[in-house]
Structure 1
Amino acid sequence: MDPTTPQAACFEAGIKFGTLYHQFAGTPVSPDSSASLERAIAEAVENQPFCESVDVEILDDVLAAELDEQSADYTELTGRFMEVELVVDYEGCRVHTSMSMEGDYPRMRVDRVEDA
């Protein structure tokens, strides 16, 4: 059986999150560079097919708290420092997804599917 359009749209969203997370995890980040990194991540992921929008928020308060605990002026980007919303439009089916921390794990989830 071939996947349905909503299933394919959800798969596309998963590809975007895999790219986003695994391409940018480990990037050096500080409160001074977080805004430019947010834009760079969003613009890079938006280049992918079927990606309608990406909103990346680096949590500067969480980042600053981490930096207060260490001697360096930066740390490595991980899921605990960002929240992401991503929308994929695949053949008229829009999938709204998000990423935020759930306990110690950056949880990526499908929030809503709008089938045309």
Structure 2
Amino acid sequence: MKLKILVVFDMNEPGEKYFSNLSDRERAIFEGGISMGALFHQFTGTPVSLETADGLESAISESIKLQPAIMDVEVHIDREMIRKTAGEFGYVSLTGDMLSVRLTVEHGSERVTVRMEYLEELRYPLMYIED
């Protein structure tokens, strides 16, 4: 038997009234998109090395979890790309093609998975709704 937990948002919470025209799924997708865009534009360009990649993954994850409705964050930075591109100083600037991210977002009765990954056929770090 599957147990589904309903998260009820208080309509008296600041700002909640501005989203009353959205379904729970639409709101979850909105929150996931806003968080993914913030993550990408905030962290690309950050210096990263093999020694700091774990810490940067953790910092990205913990900061994005602060956003509304974000239940879980998985961040992976491609270590092989760091190895291949690190220069004399041992670090590179983080780019979208180094990131693989999955966000689990819940609002009301809906849960969505928002994904960002570099797709070779597009040569682009695509953000999309995975589930």
Do these two structures clear the TM 0.5 threshold for a shared fold by scoring above it? yes
Per-residue CA deviations over 1:63-99 (Å, capped at 9, x if unaligned) read 11112xx333111111111111110011121011111
2:125 to 69, 90, 106: 106
- Aligned-pair Cα RMSD in Å: 1.4
TM normalised by structure 1 equals 0.88
C-alpha distance in 2 between matches for 1:53 and 1:11: 16
> What percent identity do the matched residue pairs reach?
35
Per-residue CA deviations over 1:47-66 (Å, capped at 9, x if unaligned) read 11111000101110121111
The structure that has the greater radius of gyration is 2
User: Which 5+ residue runs of structure 1 have no aligned equivalent?
Assistant: none
Q: Give the corresponding residue for 1:80.
A: 97
1:63 to 82, 86, 100: 82
Describe the SS at the equivalent of 1:18: helix
Q: Give the corresponding residue for 2:52.
A: 33
User: Which 5+ residue runs of structure 2 have no aligned equivalent?
Assistant: 1-20
Amino acid at match of 2:41: H
C-alpha distance in 1 between matches for 2:72 and 2:63: 11
Amino acid at match of 1:88: V
Is 1:91 the counterpart of 2:108 in the alignment?
A: yes
Describe the SS at the equivalent of 1:48: coil
Runs of 4+, deviation exceeding 6 Å: none
Q: Which structure dedicates a bigger proportion of its chain to strand?
A: 1
